[in-house]
Structure 1
Amino acid sequence: MGLKEALVARALEEGFVAARVCRPDAVPDVAERLAAFVEAGHHGQMGWMAERMHWRSDPAALWPEARSILMLAESYAPEYDPLAVLERPDLGAVSVYAQGRDYHDIVKKRLKRLGRWLIDEAGGQIKVFVDTAPVPEKALGQAAGLGWQGKHTNLVSRDWGNWAFLGSVFTTLELEPDAQEVDHCGSCRACLDVCPTNAFPAPYQLDARRCISYLTIEHKGPIDEDLRTLMGNRIYGCDDCLAVCPWNKFAVAASDMCYLGAVGAPALAELTVLDDAGFRTRFSGSPIKRIGRNRFVRNVLYAIGNSGDPRLISIAQVLCDDPDGAIADAARWAVTQLRSE
């Protein structure tokens, strides 16, 4: 078995569902697409996207010594219908990927073990990345043949659907690249049509300013009122466009039980009482923790305003004078919404 074949086999042993190789210069169109995205303002408050465009546009600039990039996919596919909770307005809908432990920690440990194995076998140098560095993972994933960027802009595979985390191992070793994957979306519009906020101005384009995942996680301060009612009971992330993809019929079960945590669909009424310490304790080890108590409770209050349950008025009223302006605003909005109904 050659080095590349052994490396891929080792990656599968580590729990990844797929591993493919591309060159650092395999995504020449990323620069133009990213520039158009930022110029249109579709990145919203994510200023780091504009600030790091040079690196994100050119993986070779991130580490000029790299000669090959191993792209890996790790499944977190749910064994339940993630859209079912949307029918329970008294509960909070939390994205599937945030149900368990933070994927950054789990995937990075796997990548480091894989990288150490590669160094032991063939020498060279490596750097591993999981989402937190300016790496165009989805474009590189398509260039390496993992899948293709679907109309919802996420990576889709005929072998494992679209429920997957992406990681990369940059190496100074020369590895034979794989063939780029081609688009298999066809005429399907399921992901575009299901979006509750119409966040896709066109197929393969996303306006993050209207995306519920962006609004609940990245957006600071009050959210535009015309979007609040469209958020429903989604309090952290949104899975709608992922959940309806027909290629999920080939989804591979999550490789790590740590992704199948106990967050579940919590009752909205029990979340507004969390102070900062309580929030940190409840979501310790979870990606939810990184948005902080204030942004999270703001999201919960929008969901309460959309619940149609007048019994939650008194719960929202308690926060109408919260020291955090976005929370106070959300609480007053929720009270107004419930009283009007």
Structure 2
Amino acid sequence: MANHTEVYLSEQVVVLCSCVLSLVGSTLIITTFVLWSDLRTTPRRLLVYLSVSDWLSAASYAFGVWMDFRSDSVECVVQGALSTFSNTSSFFWTVAIAVYLYVFIVRAAQREADNLVLYFHLISWGVPLAITIAATCLNKIGYNASEVSVGWCWIQIQAPDRILWMLLTGKIWEFLAYLTLPILYILIKRHIHTAHAALSEYRPILANGPQSHAFPSMADIKLTLIPVIFILLRIWSTVRFILLLADSPVRQNPVLVTLHGIGNTSQGAANCIMFVLFTRPIRTRLCTTLCCCCCKCREQSQDASSVPHRLLQDRDALAHKGEEESNIR
């Protein structure tokens, strides 16, 4: 097995750009939740918790890619521990949102769904934290040689039980998410389609109108995209892990390494696109807010530029007044 997978400068730049986009996207999700109180529903609150995990994950990955660690160090261990915790937590919160929507929509049990939030916190923060603490205390986190990473640290590549710890600190939860998310969202979609079909039977005029199709179609698109995007982003990491198990040199392919880096760091940006930019009320508010800010900035700049002009006018008026007084005298 080769000792190190080379991470080229072009790969670092691309992955760092992906990290920045996820940081911006996660920040935007959190900011809109804080600014507008009417958006503070339970599903969007769960999305904010997921965005916190994605923000921490993108920040830790960005630091790791920037440093491109070549050996064990304190910074390497800290970065590896933070990325392990946040990445695993992101898996749990992604599944938690799907479970909440399933209970809320399919089982029509809002109170039961809301009661699950406490357990989501205990599991989505507690389990990753316990795993990360155990891995750190047992000196399992460290230099990974970019064999299943892109410059950042994770499980020490030289650890004899590295496969077990790679599974515990991410891969097993990733595999479970691959199975759980499509099943839950397919069940939700089927329930929505069945309910919409029943509604269409009794209310054909509304069902055939353009407004009645707009929101179900957008919801249908999102329910399809959520598991698909998750799998498309994360599959490259899984492929490299499987290639590591097979001791295949293909895992060092630059294209595969770049896709792995983009996939692991793009979750925050993808969530922002789906739940902010593709959500009409939030998109409209953002555009309105940006327009207002631009108008205020323009007014302030115009006021600032007009100050010297007003000062010159006042000076000329005073001079003219002085001349008139001198003539009177």
TM-score calculated relative to the size of structure 2: 0.26
TM-score calculated relative to the size of structure 1: 0.25
Report which of the two structures shows the higher radius of gyration computed on alpha carbons.
Answer: 2
More helix by share: 2
More strand by share: 1
